[in-house]
Amino acid sequence: MSETVAIIDYGSGNLHSAAKAFERATREAGLDSRIAVTGDPDVVAAADRVVLPGVGAYADCRRGLDAVPGMVAAMERAAHERARPFLGICVGMQLLATRGLEYAVTPGLGWIPGDVGPIRPADPALKIPHMGWNTLAAGSHPLLAGIPTGPEGLHAYFVHSYALKADRPEDVVAEVDYGGPVTAMVARDNVAGTQFHPEKSQRLGLALLANFLKWRP
């Protein structure tokens, strides 16, 4: 049976790249998923799986999301009432937090309790933004099934200056070392988020997206 994957268009995100990556993951996994880039809350509310991308400043992304009438309510319905698999990417992951602290205090969705604050590496030689390829220190999660992690694992692509510090350690699935541990992936129930960009992370990213398309939380 074909499933609809709704990638939310709210004016912020690598929508073309994300859609192409999901389409490729669908083909390579032999699945029958229809990828829909949409700004229609009704489509999001009815989707089988939902993806919230995001690039740029936290407050700008939150304003963009709120500017689409009914979108936050549609996301709530899909993720919480219908328990559909939900994936946030980069700032889309950060918006799952309680609040963002980038320049001003901005309320988040509150799905993964915690704050999004500036990265402060212990090594002053490390530049901000954190940008480039890194391996993951990860625990067990269905979205990481079959993906080599650890020092010899596959690499994920990061570009960010702020990171989510979750209130509950068990919500953090993976971290990256950048002058200390930085949250790379969070998950709770049917909701997950990656700070890195799966659509730009080649083998690791395609494997993670395929796992998301098959995920039955």
Determine the structural domain holding residue 58 and report its residue range: 3-214
The pLDDT assigned to 2 comes to: 86
Which residue among the candidates 61, 130, 175, 199 is catalytic per the annotation?
199
The number of beta carbons lying within 10 Å of the beta carbon of residue 59 is: 15
Q: CATH number for the domain including 30? A: 3.40.50.880
Which residue among the candidates 61, 102, 160, 197 is catalytic per the annotation?
197
Does the pLDDT value for residue 1 go beyond 80?
no
- Residue 164 makes CB contacts below 8 A (sequence gap 6+) with 93, 94, 96, 97, 112, 114, 115, 116, 183, 186, 193, 195
How does pLDDT run across 125-155, given as a tens digit for each residue?
999 999 999 999 999 999 999 999 999 999 9
Q: Among 154, 140, 141, which residue's Cα sits nearest to residue 196? A: 154
Phi and psi based region of residue 11 (left: phi greater than 0; alpha: psi -120 to 50; beta: remaining) = left
Per the annotation, the verdict on 199 as an active-site residue is yes
**Can you tell me the distance from the alpha carbon of 98 to that of 32, in angstroms, rounded to the nearest whole number?**
35
The answer to whether 53 touches 193, Cβ cutoff 8 Å, is no
Mean pLDDT, rounded, of the chain: 96
pTM for the model: 0.97
Q: What percent of the chain has pLDDT over 90?
A: 96
How does pLDDT run across 67-89, given as a tens digit for each residue?
999 999 999 999 999 999 999 99
How does pLDDT run across 2-14, given as a tens digit for each residue?
899 999 999 987 8
- Residue 46 makes CB contacts below 8 A (sequence gap 6+) with 4, 78
Q: Among 172, 183, 11, 160, which residue's Cα sits nearest to residue 90? A: 160
Q: How many independent structural domains does the chain possess?
A: 1
Residue whose token pair is 């395609």: 206
Q: Is residue 129 reached through a cis peptide bond, with omega within 30 degrees of 0 on the bond before it?
A: yes
Ranges assigned E (strand) in 130-206: 130-134, 137-138, 156-160, 162-166, 172-177, 181-188, 191-194
**Can you tell me the distance from the alpha carbon of 69 to that of 65, in angstroms, rounded to the nearest whole number?**
9
Which residue among the candidates 61, 90, 130, 175 is catalytic per the annotation?
90
pLDDT band at 186 (very low <50, low <70, confident <90, very high): very high
pLDDT band at 195 (very low <50, low <70, confident <90, very high): very high
The alpha-carbon radius of gyration of the chain (Å, integer) is 16
pLDDT band at 44 (very low <50, low <70, confident <90, very high): very high
Tell me phi and psi for residue 124, to 5 degrees.
Answer: -65, -15
Query: Amino acid letter at 196?
Result: F
pLDDT band at 30 (very low <50, low <70, confident <90, very high): very high
Per the annotation, the verdict on 90 as an active-site residue is yes
